[in-house]
Chain A
Amino acid sequence: MRKGCLLLGMIFLVWMVGAGGAGAADEALKVGFIYVSPVGDAGWSYAHEQARLAVEALEGVRTAFVEDVREGPDSERVMRNMARKGYDLIFATSYGYMDSMLKVAGEFPDTVFMHCSGYKLAPNMGNYFGRIYQARYLSGMAAGAMTRGGQIGYVAAFPIPEVIRGINAFTIGVRAVNPKATVRVVWTKTWYDPATEKEAAKSLLDVGCDVIAQHQDSPGPQEAAQERGAYSVGYNTDMSAFAPRAHLTAAVWNWAPFYLEVVESVRNGTWKSTAAWPGMEKGIVGLAPFGPMVPESVKTRIEQEKARLINGETRVFAGPIKDQQGNLKIAAGETASDEALLGMTWLVEGVVGTTE
Chain B
Amino acid sequence: MTAELLLPLLAAAVQTGTPILYATLGEILTERAGVLNLGVEGIMMVGALAAYVTALATGHAGLGFAAGAGCGALLAAVHAQVCVGFRGNQVVSGLALTILGTGLANYLGTPYIGQSIPGFQRTALPLLDQIPILGPVFFRQDPLVYLSYLAPVFVWVALKRTTWGLNLRAAGEAPEAVTAAGLSFARLRWSAVVLGGLLMGCGGAYLSLAYTHLWSTGLVAGRGWIAVALVIFAFWHPGRAVLGAYLFGGVMAFQFRLQALGTHLPSSLLLMLPYLLTIFVLVAASVRRRGQAPPAALGVNHEPPD
Contacts and interface: CB of A to CB of B under 8 A. Distances in A.
Contact of B116 (A40, A204, A242): A242
A193 B216 contact: yes
B277 to A, nearest CB: 16
Interface in A12-53: 38, 40-43, 46
B166 interface: no
Contacts of A289: none
Contacts of B253: 199, 202-203
State which size class the interface on A falls in: 35 or more
Interface string B109-122: 01111111000011
B116 A203 contact: no
Contacts of A55: none
A153 B183 CA distance: 60
A195 interface: yes
B261 A195 contact: no
A202 B211 contact: no
Contact of B256 (A41, A199, A209, A354): A199
A194 B214 contact: yes
B258 to A, nearest CB: 8
Contact of A193 (B111, B112, B221, B260): B221
- Looking at B8, B9, B253, B262, the one whose CB has the most chain A CB atoms below 10 A away is B262
Task: Give the 5 A-B CB pairs with smallest separation, nearest first.
Answer: A42-B114, A40-B113, A203-B256, A356-B266, A187-B267
26 contacts: A42-B114, A184-B262, A187-B267, A188-B256, A194-B212, A194-B216, A194-B219, A195-B216, A195-B219, A196-B221, A199-B12, A199-B256, A200-B256, A202-B256, A203-B256, A207-B260, A218-B214, A218-B216, A219-B114, A223-B212, A227-B121, A227-B122, A242-B116, A353-B259, A353-B262, A354-B266
Given A42-B113, A199-B252, 19 more contacts: A38-B217, A40-B111, A41-B216, A42-B115, A188-B256, A189-B268, A195-B207, A195-B221, A198-B211, A199-B12, A200-B259, A204-B260, A206-B8, A206-B12, A207-B261, A220-B214, A227-B122, A354-B264, A356-B268
Interface of A: 38, 40-43, 46, 153, 184-190, 192-196, 198-200, 202-204, 206-207, 209, 218-220, 223, 227, 241-242, 352-354, 356
